[in-house]
Structure 1
Amino acid sequence: MQSIISEIEQKKFRPVYVLHGEEGYFTECITDAIIDNALNPEEREFNQTILYGRDTDVKDLVSATKRFPMMSPYHVVVLREAQDLKKVEELESLLANPIDTSILVLAFKKKVDMRKKWIKSLRKDCINFTSNKVPDWKLSEWVSKQSRTKGLDVDSKSASMIAEFIGGDLQRIDKDLDKLKMMTKDGQKVEPALIQKVIGVSRDYNIFELQDALMTRNAHKAQMIVKHFGADPRSHPIQPIIGALFSMYSKMIMLHAARSFSPDGAAKTLKAKPFYAKKILSAAQRYTYGHLVRNISVLRDYDLKSKGVGATSATSMGELMREMVFKLSH
């Protein structure tokens, strides 16, 4: 993505950008970069057209793209929610022979079927970008990299705290990093206390610390953390907690199944950085394979209970969390 944005910022534009995939954040970043850089503010009134797939058709889209720019090198046409455009295959001719005085952006909210003839017709000098989700095991690394691009000094533990608390919502992570940037001076290290203030994650009571407690089988600390969660279930909903723990235990099972009990073997199996792989490996060695499989079953059971299946209406989310963590740690 960054290479595409760098090219755009250098005013090197392509006639067509087909942006698609499961991660809307990257698609939005590229789209916004084109809008911000292709035209000056005074040129946009007559030379920028923003359409939505559900409200337009191929004929109108092609007509807008063929419109000649007025006192500007380009006419920019952005089609948002392009997945809702009917008869998208009728764009084949336009994609094969794009208008060089226009910049056409097709922004989809899902992945395009690359076997389709219309996408295969896209001219070679155009952009076909697939926006993939950042895997859970790479999320803290992405937070660290994004922090550096904003000039923030965020260490690996703080990056992991942000990733674990917010999850895969990259747009929210990006906005919260902007808040942190506004509240720090150049070169100032971002402390956990500031993270807590900005995004509401406590250094001692967060999903990251709960995972650490369960990985080291510190049952007392785990109960203290979920007791804190239970006091404010709206800020600490059980479903994301279950998801994070499911991911953690699943990685341990992968190591047992592959019999990867060396740091290098664990990193290869998990496709993770050595530091993170070593941490999961250390945790996996504290659990038997049978215990890990049982814990996955416990998580599935409490996922159902949290949705009202098999639980009484009098059982609070806090009680469910405490029961669940007790079973996981014993």
Structure 2
Amino acid sequence: MFEVSFSTELAKIKKKEFAPVYLVFGTEAYLIDTLRKTLMENVIGPDEIDLNFSSFDMEEVSLGTVLADAESIPFFGERRLIFMNRSVFLSTEKSKQKNDPDLADFEHYLQQPSESTVLVIYAPYEKLDQRKKINKLLKKSAVLIDVQPLKERDVQKYIRDTINNEGYNISPEAFEKLIQLTDANLSTAIGELPKLFLYAQENRKITVAAVEALVPKSLEQNIFALNESVLKKDTAHALSLYQDLLLQKEDPIKINAIMAGQFRLLIQVQMLLKKGFQQSEIGKMLKVHPYRIKLAAQQIRKFDSKTLLSAYEGLIETEYHLKTGQGDRKMQFELFVLSFANKGNSKKIFS
């Protein structure tokens, strides 16, 4: 869908082959931004923005307002460009505006759109309400541009192609590290490339050292590493990572909560895999990014369910101590690490 819909339509727009109505469906920020920029550069000239471009928040304005603009003649130009943002009336989500009186007129417009207007309807939602007449009409009359988050292999291909097209090479290890540090998120990865290009401009080679130095770890990634150390009962490393987070002014309750959430995910993924579900199915069921499911599946291979559950229960107990103010807040997690590491051959540390 990505190669057919997004790439093909983008190429047509650059050739000045415009459709009167586009439905942009999905939530991938980088693709949405790329499309917006391409439309702005090709449908209207830079000196026409004030005259022939309009952008509406459909949570705030009526369809009648959009229609009045769409049916207007362009000023000193060939076309008008109109963005309809947050078109919640197409989705299954609740809208501030109910029963828009201009809906019937808008449906009529879709059947006979103005030839001098390019109307772009943005629907940044996971699902559209297929029961609605308006969506059935859009299927027939609009060009659908799919900007749903890409699968990991498509993200990797897009990033690799972008790097190569800019005249750079990246080692396999560096590429793997880039995907890992950006959670296989297209927008995040693309956003990190300018720094890497600047760093490697002399020899045009991106190394793993460059990626590690320039691409920051998120809090969740730091805590993922902390989880790994806890599970391996590498007490020294776990406590060192924890101290680093405290030096970064992270709150102990927040650290503990994210850790507990990650362990809960590990337990859920382990249970669902045992029941025969595929990783893609699990991601949809838990509403979690596929790359996180992949990492969880890799991590749980190293540990049995008893170990995961024991760690999770320890974190829940730590959360109770943190929230009830029992003992030093910064020490509670350290006590958990020591308690878990000595599980089975030491007495309980929490009193």
> Cα offset for 1:116?
1.1
Contact kept in structure 2, 1:164 and 1:207, CA below 8 Å: no
Match of 2:161 in 1: 148
Q: In structure 1, the residue corresponding to 2:55 is in which secondary structure?
A: strand
Match of 1:101 in 2: 116
1:95-244 → structure 2 map (5 Å cutoff)? 95-110=110-125, 111-122=127-138, 124=140, 126-129=142-145, 131-133=147-149, 138=152, 142=155, 145-151=158-164, 153-154=169-170, 158-159=174-175, 161-162=177-178, 165=181, 167=183, 171-185=187-201, 188-201=204-217, 206-207=222-223, 209-210=225-226, 213=229, 218-234=234-250, 238=255, 242-244=260-262
Is residue 288 from structure 1 mapped to residue 304 from structure 2 by the alignment?
A: yes
Query: Percent identical across equivalent pairs?
Result: 15
Q: What CA deviation, in whole Å up to 9, does each residue of 1:166-219 have, x standing for no partner? A: 5587544432223323332286333344334434339xx945654665676655
Deviates more, 1:182-191 or 1:97-106: 182-191
The alignment of Structure 1 onto Structure 2 pairs a total of residues equal to: 312
1:173 and 1:290, CA in 2 relative to 1: closer, same or farther beyond 3 A?
same
Q: Which amino acid aligns with 1:115?
A: R
Q: Which amino acid aligns with 1:46?
A: L
Is residue 33 from structure 1 mapped to residue 38 from structure 2 by the alignment?
A: yes
Q: In structure 2, the residue corresponding to 1:122 is in which secondary structure?
A: helix
Q: Distance in 1 between matches of 2:297 and 2:207?
A: 25
Contact kept in structure 2, 1:21 and 1:109, CA below 8 Å: yes
> Cα offset for 1:39?
2.2
Q: In structure 1, the residue corresponding to 2:329 is in which secondary structure?
A: coil
Q: Distance in 1 between matches of 2:197 and 2:69?
A: 39
Name the Cα RMSD after superposition. Answer: 4.4
Q: Which amino acid aligns with 1:225?
A: L
Is residue 67 from structure 1 mapped to residue 67 from structure 2 by the alignment?
A: no
Q: In structure 2, the residue corresponding to 1:286 is in which secondary structure?
A: coil
> Cα offset for 1:77?
0.7
1:191 and 1:92, CA in 2 relative to 1: closer, same or farther beyond 3 A?
same
Contact kept in structure 2, 1:20 and 1:27, CA below 8 Å: no
Contact kept in structure 1, 2:155 and 2:184, CA below 8 Å: no
1:62 and 1:214, CA in 2 relative to 1: closer, same or farther beyond 3 A?
same
Q: What CA deviation, in whole Å up to 9, does each residue of 1:37-68 have, x standing for no partner? A: 22222333322222222443211201111122
Match of 1:15 among 20, 38, 53: 20
Q: In structure 1, the residue corresponding to 2:196 is in which secondary structure?
A: helix
1:235 and 1:297, CA in 2 relative to 1: closer, same or farther beyond 3 A?
closer
Contact kept in structure 1, 2:174 and 2:209, CA below 8 Å: no
> Cα offset for 1:321?
5.0
- Structure 2: gaps spanning 5 or more residues: 89-94, 284-288, 344-351
Q: Distance in 1 between matches of 2:116 and 2:188?
A: 35
1:115 and 1:189, CA in 2 relative to 1: closer, same or farther beyond 3 A?
farther
1:314 and 1:284, CA in 2 relative to 1: closer, same or farther beyond 3 A?
closer
Q: Distance in 1 between matches of 2:171 and 2:268?
A: 26
Q: Distance in 1 between matches of 2:150 and 2:245?
A: 27
Which has the higher Rg, Structure 1 or Structure 2? 2
What is the TM-score with the length of structure 1 in the denominator? Answer: 0.71
What is the TM-score with the length of structure 2 in the denominator? Answer: 0.67
Contact kept in structure 2, 1:9 and 1:37, CA below 8 Å: yes
Match of 1:46 in 2: 51
